[in-house]
Amino acid sequence: MPRTGSSTRDRMLDAAYTVMRTRGLARATTKEIAREAGFSEAALYKHFEDKTALFVAVLVERLPSGLGRRLDALPARVGTADVEAVLAGVAADALAFYRETFPMAASLYSEPAVLAAHRAALDRLGTGPHAVVDAVAAYLAAERDAGRVAAAVDPRAAAVLLLGACQMSAFLESFAGGPTPDHDDGTIAAGLARAAVHGLLPRGP
């Protein structure tokens, strides 16, 4: 439920998170979100252009924010930090992010028209799931240019391998109904980074 004393926009974001998390993005309606927030649908549109803009705001302001900060910091890590450690940090934040977003976004694939509209709206906003891959690929390309990643490595393919593994981990966890008792994001992230780095680093003399 929306938090007491929050601003109108905050209450709308809280309500959107609740509805999208429980019903899925495709089946969550702005009318339902407005009702959950205690406002009219017209009031909702004063703050957000459409449902996709609301979803993006939820991603940025209501979900684990570590991934965004981590990606923004990547350019400064080039040439200064251990590549495996950097990728392990990205993987840990990606695991937390995909764990939250998977239940929301999965329903889109049952509604092709809704998925197409969502994709077009993300294009207008200049964002989308590719942004995470782009950031990691750019980091690996810069490390390759600095001689800290093997020259033959395809940075985008390596980024997809790492982030795809994070998404698959989130999917398996969601499918199983939750994490196992011994689940540890740090351990999983370190293992994924280690697997990704094997074959990325230039060979020694």
Q: What's the rounded mean pLDDT across residues 6-12?
A: 87
Residue positions counted in the chain? 205
Domain locations in the chain?
8-57, 64-197
Q: Which residue has the higher pLDDT, 167 or 3?
A: 167
Query: What one-character DSSP code corresponds to residue 43?
Result: H
Identify the band that residue 1 occupies on the pLDDT scale cut at 50, 70 and 90.
very low
CB 52 within 8 A of CB 11: no
Q: What's the rounded mean pLDDT across residues 118-122?
A: 81
Q: What are the residues whose beta carbons fall under 8 Å from the beta carbon of 91, sequence distance 6 or more?
A: 162, 165, 166, 188, 189, 190, 192, 193
Whether residue 205 has pLDDT greater than 80: no
Distance CA 158, CA 77 (A): 17
Give the amino acid at 18.
Answer: T
**pLDDT given at position 64:** 64
Q: Which backbone phi and psi does 84 adopt, to 5 degrees?
A: -60, -40
CB 132 within 8 A of CB 166: no
CB 133 within 8 A of CB 160: yes
CB 121 within 8 A of CB 110: no
Whether residue 183 has pLDDT greater than 50: yes
Place of tokens 């400064």: 76
Buried-state track 111-139, b at ≥16 Cβ within 10 A, e below 16 = eeebbeebeebbeeeeeeeeebbebbbbb
Q: What's the rounded mean pLDDT across residues 141-160?
A: 94
Whether residue 5 has pLDDT greater than 50: no
Return the ∠ at Cα 63 (arms to 36 and 111), rounded to 5°: 65
Q: Could you tell me the two tokens for 66? A: 């570590």
Identify the band that residue 67 occupies on the pLDDT scale cut at 50, 70 and 90.
confident
Indicate the average pLDDT of the chain. 87
CATH topology classification for 8-57: Arc Repressor Mutant, subunit A (1.10.10)
